[in-house]
Amino acid sequence: MTMLEVIEKKKLGQELSPEEIRFFACAAAEKSVPDYQLSALLMAIRLNGMTDAETTELTLAMRDTGDVADLSSIPGIKVDKHSTGGVGDTTTLVLAPLVAACGAPVAKMSGRGLGHTGGTLDKMESIPGMRIDLTVEELLRQVREIGVAVVGQTGHLAPADKTLYALRDVTSTVDSIPLIVSSILSKKLAAGSDAIVLDVKTGSGALMHSLEDSIRLARKMVNVGNLAGKPTVALISGMDQPLGTHVGNALEVKEAIDILSGRAGGDLKEVSLTLGGYMLVLAEKAKTWEEGVRMLEEALESGAGLRKLREMIQAQGGEPAVCDDTGRLPQAPVRKTVCCGRDGYVREMDTVALGLAARALGAGRLRMEDQIDYSVGFVLMVRIGDRVQPGTPLCEIHARTEADAVRAEEAVREAIRWSDTPCERGKNFYAVVTRDGVTRL
């Protein structure tokens, strides 16, 4: 078998055999064939697609090119959650401790931010002393002892994906649904959890901007996850504006703590509770997602969720006192409150532009090796549909310098569109996708 034969077959729109797919995945992991041949096959897949069986086989083959975590020593059904990415999306830091407080073990491997999206690991590292580089043995012990751990992915997790993702980025094949599915799920399956809840974003700040494209992606991911033997459910949630009001690493940790402390609510809380409700169903701790949400609300009200976050921070070397005093998180030297400066209604937001504005402040990276400033970002004080006046606060900018704050103000203003007449915002959830089909909400 040669790569040229595999390329030729997919170029003609034919279905690849399991052996051909595994040959391709191994070649990517081992870099045993030239990049131009891998790129040619990626484009053939982008143009001609893959069946669910092919996509499942590619996902499993990519998973098997590296380490696969064995979580069987942890009692109970381990449930993972994955978001396709967004701005102000701090759901993991809210729902992981809450779900664990309800008796479902959470052993989560997360990633860093890149582009306009934030990364859970960067947010966690804004907590003084926090470790995210646990060994597999440390991960297992921590989850057995306290029920939750959120850590970085091992460098040996699905190495084929590392090669293929870099090529997709420079060959205009990032938007291929089979390649998106295999990239995400190969890492999720390698992380070892028993079931998966997917949060597939739709809107201006999402990978897929249209609802129909988001549903297509979710259906493919759910089908492949279930074919791979992992019960999988997907929710389609809105990303037409930042999910939380806080954008920036330490600021987002603060918002998560405020929610767990009962001081804050809003869209981030609602989305976290709903996703967590489905996690409890898959973990067989609740019969319906509504029952799961009620359990999570009780964990919020009793303080059990915040106590679990404190336990996780302490177990991973962080300073648990941030749960009592968020002022211990990194603080930016410059704070600037910006007012709307006009009458009207917030019509829409360019969520990607808002994410890039936070990155320009230093909250994100242009390259993976760049250093970030955990303290910077901004707090949005308006939501789509809000009625505003000239003196209504628009945002509070947290910056390193006055000049940075001025540039961020300009970027935030440019990212927000206004209307003179009332307008409605989109929903938090648009659909639920299970192995039985799509339920539109």
Q: Is 210 exposed, middle or buried (0-12, 13-18, 19+ CB in 10 A)?
A: exposed
Q: With beta carbons less than 8 A apart as the criterion, state whether 56 and 174 touch.
A: no
Annotation marks residue 9 as catalytic: no
Annotation marks residue 183 as catalytic: yes
Contacts (Cβ under 8 Å, ≥6 apart) of 36: none
Distance (Å) of CA 94 to CA 55, 244, 329: 32, 11, 17
Q: Which of 168, 188, 220, 230 is catalytic?
A: 168
Q: Take residue 220 and report the two structure tokens written for it.
A: 């493919």
Q: Which of 63, 78, 108, 187 is catalytic?
A: 187
Q: Is 311 left (phi over 0), alpha (psi -120 to 50) or beta?
A: alpha
Q: Which of 80, 161, 267, 350 is catalytic?
A: 161
The Cα 305–Cα 295 span in angstroms is 11
Residue 285 CA to its chain's centroid (Å) = 24
Q: Which of 82, 116, 219, 308 is catalytic?
A: 82
Q: With beta carbons less than 8 A apart as the criterion, state whether 14 and 49 touch.
A: no
Nearest to 226 by CA among 439, 434, 437, 440: 434
> Could you give the 3-state DSSP secondary structure of residue 173?
coil
Q: Which of 110, 126, 176, 183 is catalytic?
A: 183
Q: With beta carbons less than 8 A apart as the criterion, state whether 165 and 187 touch.
A: no
Annotation marks residue 168 as catalytic: yes
The Cα 266–Cα 245 span in angstroms is 9
Look at the block and give the residue holding tokens 């028993």: 194
- Which residues does the annotation mark as catalytic? 82, 161, 168, 183, 187
